[in-house]
Structure 1
Amino acid sequence: MSKAIEQAPANCPLPWPTDAMDAEQLRQYAKDILRQTQPFTQENRFTSWRHFFITLAVIALFSAGAVSALAWPLRLLSGVLLGLAVVRLFVLYHDHMHGAFLRGSRFAALFFKAFGLLLMAPPSLWRQSHDYHHGHSCQYVGAENGRWPLLSTHTDLGTFPLLSTDEYQRADSWKRLRYRIARHPLMILLGSQTIFVFSICVVSLLTQPRHRPWALLALGLNIGSVAFLAINAADILLFALLVPHLVGSALGVYMFYCQHNFPGARYLSPEQWNYTATAVHSSSYMHTGPLMAWFTANIGYHHVHHANSSIPFYRLPEAMAAITALQSPIVTSLHPRDIWRCLNLKLWDAERQRLVSFAEFEALKNDPARQQALA
């Protein structure tokens, strides 16, 4: 049975099934999951193309509504639905980058390369950050010394910045302010600007010479499109571009955030970290209704995806239903209560092995044992 999201006990983490395993048992556990998930990596080409073209048809339909001469409430609704449909297409792009969806298709590769540029996530930059994320998911890397100020994700990490309670307590006021900005819910709401524009494109343009042409092309295409529409069709800019971008990026970035920032997630040191155990148990399962599962292309089955990223999105539910080890994840949802619980987690408490809020940190920082450890 899946475990509903809940607050972790005050002095201990939520238990993982792997906690009692020794090194040899963990190795066997990893081998078993890889072996059991392998059959589900087989792609059904007809099914993949069907999902691809249906997604494009839905995007075309909502785009037509957003640019049409309908009353503005209907255009606004079309823009919102267009944003949700773009989230689905982005997950298909994500799966293609993993080699799980339309692998080897030249047409798909060309299409998704253009799509990545339009969404300011060029394939080479997306692959760099996302592959790192999968290879080091929930591995605690510390304060990101030497990186750009902690305003958003960095392209090498592919995740939100995270400080431990000890590091945060040692930090000066300026570093704390930058960190609070980085973890603020507005960073998720404005995910398109903070992550895709700033972290993926601008930072790469200034710091990574080999990626500069792609970052520059992505920025140029988007700035040019916005400028053209602002001058010639402000209504289309609003309903067909700005509204979908806001809705799509807010939902997509939040889902990425909450799937590794939830009560029960652990961020372990490289010495403690185990790829499979962390992939399965520090990745949540987001329970949604069938409509939202369609718009998000099953990315809510995130623990299954991290167990084996070569599984096409449409086979993730099938894999979870068939493999016992994948049937007990911690469950999140889009219920406001669960969203608040996930957004409220700000710091990693290594002593208690759980994420805590700023309020919890303030309550714990005067703990004599912690003060002695920091002395």
Structure 2
Amino acid sequence: MSANIEKTVYINLARYTQPDAGKSWWVFLSASIGAALFMFLGFYVYQFGWYYSLIAYPFVWIFWSRLFIIVHDCGHKALFKDQLSNDIAGTIAGAFTTVPLPLWRFIHDQHHKAVGHLEKRPINPDLWTLTVEEYKKASIVKKLIYRFMRNGMVRVFIAPAMLFILGRFPFPNLSWQSNVSIIAMDIVLFGVGYLVYVNDAFLMVTIVYLIPLYVWLSFAAMMFYMQHQFEDTHWYEGEDWSNYKASIHGSSYMHFGPFMTWMTGNVGYHHIHHLNAGIPFYKLKKANASVAQMLKVKPISFWNCIPSLKKKLWDENKRELVPFKDI
């Protein structure tokens, strides 16, 4: 019976993988133009007083969030039918927040291959997660590093800077396309940095661009955390793992209000996305409705996820995340 349900779920979701070219171009162009206009507004009003630039912050965050889901979908080649359109839109959208499309495509593909799989954690760029036994056997230095990396304050205030800085360096374990995209982005950033320096515009760029980017990356880091590190998440081993189980039990279904759902591009339907990454973000809600009765996954709210920040280790006996105090 469960095998039949699984097959039916995949068949139903496959019906939503065809992108609507008109809608795809609309969401890309509207988000790009919106972000560019409000970034320009921030720079323009700076001349009248730095505090006027703060007016642009919430609007920039909104359109950056929309642009990021576009980068995400282009990375999966889901926003457009053809590769070229996905590459063009994803590259432009990624430039706003310095996210090279090939880099994102590579690391995110690795994530999809290994999500919820304990044995594939080394190739999964998700948040570092140790089991209780691994933590007990770890050296004092490793335990301290792990506690630092899993600290909520680090996640909010330090992770954004780490994401930005580490994203500037090529690594041998990345694909060559990823490393080329990093170098290309670094060349562009160096050129922009030189113009900022010669025009003595560092303070302006910091207030109008770098500070809102830092805050937005903090928001993005928290969203990434809650997609797989929630109260009832599951991890699997060996043949017990399947994409189906990892998607519906190890990926969150978060309930947001209408505005937050629109701003984040239906990111709350993360379990549906992992079941079929080829569905454009604007079809996720309808895709979820088509299989909701079969999956019976209960949605969780943003606030319900906050207590999960205390859960740091996977207990293989209890089959759940537990806090440090429980060991």
Q: Structure 2-normalised TM-score? A: 0.88
Amino acid at match of 1:342: S
Cα shift at 1:274: 1.7
What residue is the counterpart of 1:112 in the other structure?
90
Residues 1:357 and 2:310 aligned together? no
Go from structure 1 to structure 2 and tell me whether the alpha carbon gap of 1:340 and 1:224 turns closer, same or farther (over 3 Å shift): farther
**Using the alignment, how far apart are the partners of 1:201 and 1:238 within structure 2?**
18
**Using the alignment, how far apart are the partners of 2:298 and 2:10 within structure 1?**
20
Gaps of 5+ in 1: 1-24, 145-155, 362-375
Amino acid at match of 1:123: L
Match of 1:137 among 115, 133, 146: 115
What residue is the counterpart of 1:33 in the other structure?
9
Residues 1:249 and 2:217 aligned together? yes
Question: Does the 8 A contact of 1:40 with 1:319 survive in 2?
Answer: yes
List per-residue Cα deviations over 1:307-353 (Å, max 9, x = no partner): 11111111111111222346633433333xx3431221211001000
What residue is the counterpart of 2:187 in the other structure?
220
Superposition misfits of 4+ residues, deviation over 4 angstroms: 206-209
**Using the alignment, how far apart are the partners of 1:278 and 1:212 within structure 2?**
29
Judge which range, 297-306 or 230-239, deviates more.
230-239
What residue is the counterpart of 1:56 in the other structure?
32
Go from structure 1 to structure 2 and tell me whether the alpha carbon gap of 1:41 and 1:296 turns closer, same or farther (over 3 Å shift): same
- The 5-angstrom pairing of residues 6-17 of structure 1 reads none
What residue is the counterpart of 1:179 in the other structure?
146
**Using the alignment, how far apart are the partners of 2:121 and 2:159 within structure 1?**
21
Amino acid at match of 2:209: L
Question: Does the 8 A contact of 1:120 with 1:219 survive in 2?
Answer: no
**Using the alignment, how far apart are the partners of 1:271 and 1:127 within structure 2?**
27
Partner SS for 2:15: helix
Match of 2:228 among 251, 260, 264: 260
Go from structure 1 to structure 2 and tell me whether the alpha carbon gap of 1:340 and 1:166 turns closer, same or farther (over 3 Å shift): same
What residue is the counterpart of 1:331 in the other structure?
299
Go from structure 1 to structure 2 and tell me whether the alpha carbon gap of 1:251 and 1:330 turns closer, same or farther (over 3 Å shift): farther
**Using the alignment, how far apart are the partners of 1:137 and 1:54 within structure 2?**
32
Amino acid at match of 2:7: K
What residue is the counterpart of 2:81 in the other structure?
103
Partner SS for 2:99: coil
Residues 1:205 and 2:183 aligned together? no
What residue is the counterpart of 2:277 in the other structure?
309
Q: Which has the higher contact order (CA 8 A, sep 6+)?
A: 1
Go from structure 1 to structure 2 and tell me whether the alpha carbon gap of 1:196 and 1:266 turns closer, same or farther (over 3 Å shift): farther
Match of 2:242 among 264, 274, 279: 274
Amino acid at match of 1:346: K
**Using the alignment, how far apart are the partners of 1:40 and 1:172 within structure 2?**
48
**Using the alignment, how far apart are the partners of 1:270 and 1:109 within structure 2?**
35
What residue is the counterpart of 1:125 in the other structure?
103
Cα RMSD between the aligned structures?
Answer: 2.5
**Using the alignment, how far apart are the partners of 2:126 and 2:110 within structure 1?**
9
**Using the alignment, how far apart are the partners of 2:175 and 2:35 within structure 1?**
34
Judge which range, 207-216 or 133-142, deviates more.
207-216
List per-residue Cα deviations over 1:262-304 (Å, max 9, x = no partner): 0100111123212112112211122212222222111111111
Partner SS for 2:299: strand
Question: Does the 8 A contact of 1:142 with 1:163 survive in 2?
Answer: no
Partner SS for 1:220: helix
Question: Does the 8 A contact of 1:304 with 1:316 survive in 2?
Answer: yes
Cα shift at 1:166: 0.6
Partner SS for 1:355: strand
Q: Structure 1-normalised TM-score? A: 0.78
What residue is the counterpart of 1:287 in the other structure?
255
Go from structure 1 to structure 2 and tell me whether the alpha carbon gap of 1:37 and 1:107 turns closer, same or farther (over 3 Å shift): closer
**Using the alignment, how far apart are the partners of 1:328 and 1:77 within structure 2?**
42
Residues 1:194 and 2:162 aligned together? yes
